[in-house]
Amino acid sequence: MITTVFAFLLTLGVLIVIHEWGHYQVARWCGVKVLRFSVGFGRVVWRRQATPDSTEFVISALPLGGYVKMLDEREDSVAPHECEQAFNRKSLPRRVAIVAAGPIANLLLAVLLYASANWIGVDEPKAVLSAPAAGSLAERAGMQSGDWVRAWSREAVDAGQWLDVQSLTDLRWQVTQAALERESLRLMVSDAAGHGSRQVVLELGRIDSSEVDAKLMQRVGLGAPFSEAVLGDVKAGGPADKAGLKSGDRVLRVDGTPVTDAQHLRERIRRLAADGSVAPMVWHIERAGTTRDLTVQPRVMSEGELRFGRIDAFVGRTAEMVTVQKGPVDGLVQGAARTWEVSMLTVKMLGRMLIGQASLKNLSGPLTIADYAGQSVSLGLAYYLGFLALVSVSLGVLNLLPLPMLDGGHLMYYLFEAVTGRPVSDLWLKWLQRGGALIMLLLMSLALSNDVVRLLGLH
């Protein structure tokens, strides 16, 4: 809990400071006097001001944002000798640059963070797959347990040339992008030892845009990485222990059906009968070179409305991992490419949510960010930097949306001024700000509601 809170506050602190620093620095370059640089809103808990005429730096009690207050004749009286330092006196290009600098700073930070994660390197599961779910796209494509995905290809990307699959994480990313574009994804696969290469096609165009969400991989049939059906720790007194199962047992068949991998076995355990019960299962196992049959009676568990079987034993071994690491130049290039890809993905998802082609349940808020921040910190520095980059991209893109109260809204005002030759009237500004505040409140409420539902496991 302490790690999660610390990681969440660190994430917000870094992203807010960088965003506001972008506004602050470009404002100073443009000759605008900055009165206050605030991290957070509300009551000030810390302040620093070198001289009465310098910028006041403050930290406020509510850390969900920040602001840079500039000298502006529309907000307060300005001394005659300072009028040339007022924001409203600056040319339109300079005002645009100052407003756009915050989101751009977040996007540039994301490039550096992704590059740093590439330079450090991360351990990710090798792209060796478990048996695809029955009826899934992967099964219909002919994919099997133990398939190693070596390369991918799309006609719309690099003219369909083959590109290496670095890890299972990389494969999932390519599947997500192809699904959003409703394009087929060609894969070059072999067995786990690298023998017997063949091509398969995932017909991702069959997936509706509204189904591109957290459960996309389940729909495609790309579940957990391959792991042998071998038992790990067995909890004393649990169903597995009562059946006589032990750590190291290899499960060969369940009720006469061969078990292909750990994922297949887990699905068999979790499966319920029509009446919501779990029938006893006969497991044919191998132990110390000999085989035997054991009867296992899973118990029924509930999480919210979900019910499933459980045996209180760890099923499977740790997946084979690969280290994904880049050199100085490649790491930076890949960081810029990933920032662009995530930005476009964010824009597409927001657009599809707006027109009803994607579920609003995809919106996440502070609770989900805090949860993921804590998880990424526990995995290591490179994972946390990647997470921080993802949130930084989201913050940069969201702030460029043409909504009043956001930087993108102010840029729309300046576009109107550039086209008409006059600024938006004060009356219109007042009503647009009110409308923008209402939209932001609704979005924040929806995101928080999604967070609560997600964390409680209700969908």
Tokens of 142: 């002919």
| pLDDT for residue 457 is more than 60 | no
| pLDDT for residue 459 is more than 60 | no
Contacts 24+ apart (CB under 8 A), 343-350: 343/107, 343/393, 343/396, 343/397, 345/176, 345/177, 345/180, 346/393, 346/394, 346/397, 346/398, 347/397, 348/180, 349/180, 349/212, 350/397, 350/401
Start-end of H helices in 182-306: 216-220, 239-243, 262-270
Share of the chain above pLDDT 90, in %: 48
Q: Which residue has the higher pLDDT, 245 or 427?
A: 245
pLDDT, tens digit, 9 for 90 and up, residues 43-100: 999 999 988 889 999 999 888 789 999 999 888 888 888 899 999 999 999 999 999 9
In which residue are the tokens 């539902």 written? 453
Q: Is residue 69 within 8 Å of residue 22, measured between CB atoms?
A: no
What's the burial of 232, exposed, middle or buried (CB within 10 Å: 0-12/13-18/19+)?
middle
* Domains contained in the chain, CATH given: 1-19+90-121+325-459 (no CATH), 31-89 (no CATH), 231-315 (2.30.42.10)
> CA quadruple 326, 330, 335, 341: dihedral positive or negative?
negative
Instruction: Record the pTM.
Output: 0.83
Q: Which of 20, 211, 286, 341 is catalytic?
A: 20
Q: Which pLDDT does position 432 carry in this prediction?
A: 79
Q: Which pLDDT does position 183 carry in this prediction?
A: 87
Q: Which pLDDT does position 446 carry in this prediction?
A: 73
pLDDT, tens digit, 9 for 90 and up, residues 317-354: 888 899 999 999 999 999 999 999 999 888 888 877 77
- CA distance from start to end of the chain: 23
Q: Which pLDDT does position 441 carry in this prediction?
A: 77
Summarize the confidence of residues 271-288 as an average pLDDT.
85
Q: Which pLDDT does position 154 carry in this prediction?
A: 84
pLDDT, tens digit, 9 for 90 and up, residues 323-333: 999 999 999 99
**Taking the CA of residue 419 as centre, how many other CA atoms within 13 Å lie in the half-sphere pointing to its CB?**
7
Please say if 155 is a catalytic residue: no
pLDDT, tens digit, 9 for 90 and up, residues 158-179: 556 898 999 999 999 898 888 8
Q: Tell me the pLDDT band of 16, cut-offs 50, 70 and 90.
A: very high
Residue among 147, 159, 156 nearest 179 (CA): 156
Summarize the confidence of residues 121-148 as an average pLDDT.
90
Q: Which pLDDT does position 435 carry in this prediction?
A: 80
Q: Which residue has the higher pLDDT, 286 or 356?
A: 286
Residue 293: beta bridge partners? 284
Start-end of H helices in 30-133: 92-120
DSSP 58-87: EEEEEEEEEEEEE--TTTS---GGGGGG-G
290 CB-near residues (< 8 Å, 6+ apart): none
Cα gap 133→139, rounded to integer Å? 7
| pLDDT for residue 157 is more than 70 | no
Cα gap 125→322, rounded to integer Å? 6
